[in-house]
Chain A
């Protein structure tokens, strides 16, 4: 699998339901970040979780990190139509020469009103 690979590739849910997206990566990391991209727009940073953290919350977002399994999940609770977007995880490799992020292909979330 690719570094920062999201699963599923596409997800369609009803408004009010919870959405869970998963991300797997291959190398050791400093941190893992989740970004959202609305169609035709740039990526917007949602949340950062460091390698020594296991869970983090921000509003309706909950992120978990399991470094032993090299995986992370993003949970969006009580989804809204406005949450429709593509979601990407991105990792920073501590061995990388600069602060470059490695992105996955993303999960396309559709929230049906």
Chain B
């Protein structure tokens, strides 16, 4: 079974530019999550999809962040325009649901200069 894959693994952009991160969950997992770890801080929840619907987006920091999951398969997280404080590692995770453990991707390390 293929795991959760994220692309790109690293991204370096300038302040004001746009970046789109992609996550391919494990096939058949209806639940998809985005988390972020800013340097030296906790891993923070961003949002949760159930299939193509946003179940909970309470962790999204502001309206510069837009997540989509068209068709309920892969998801994208767009940051537009990027700010310096957006730098960090963005993790995607998927699960079948309920109390099933989350399966994480390797993350995308975003650096905004």
Residues of A within 8 A of B (CB): 2, 4, 30-31, 33, 35, 40-45, 48, 50, 88, 92, 96-105
Contacts and interface: CB of A to CB of B under 8 A. Distances in A.
Contact of A31 (B59, B99, B105): B99
23 contacts: A33-B101, A35-B104, A42-B91, A42-B93, A42-B104, A43-B43, A43-B102, A43-B104, A48-B99, A48-B101, A92-B99, A98-B55, A98-B56, A99-B31, A99-B48, A99-B95, A100-B48, A100-B58, A101-B102, A102-B42, A103-B35, A103-B42, A105-B42
B21 interface: no
Given A42-B107, A88-B43, A30 B102 contact: no
B44 to A, nearest CB: 8
Given A42-B105, A105-B41, A97 B99 contact: no
Nearest to B3: A42
B73 interface: no
- Size category of the B interface is 20 to 34
Interface string B4-44: 10000000000000000000000000010101000011111
Given A33-B101, A42-B107, A43-B91, 9 more contacts: A31-B99, A99-B31, A99-B97, A99-B99, A100-B45, A100-B56, A102-B42, A104-B42, A105-B40
Contacts of B55: 97-98
B53 to A, nearest CB: 11
B99 A30 contact: yes
Nearest to A41: B106
Contacts of B107: 41-42
Contact of A4 (B42, B95, B102, B104): B42
Contacts of B58: 97, 100
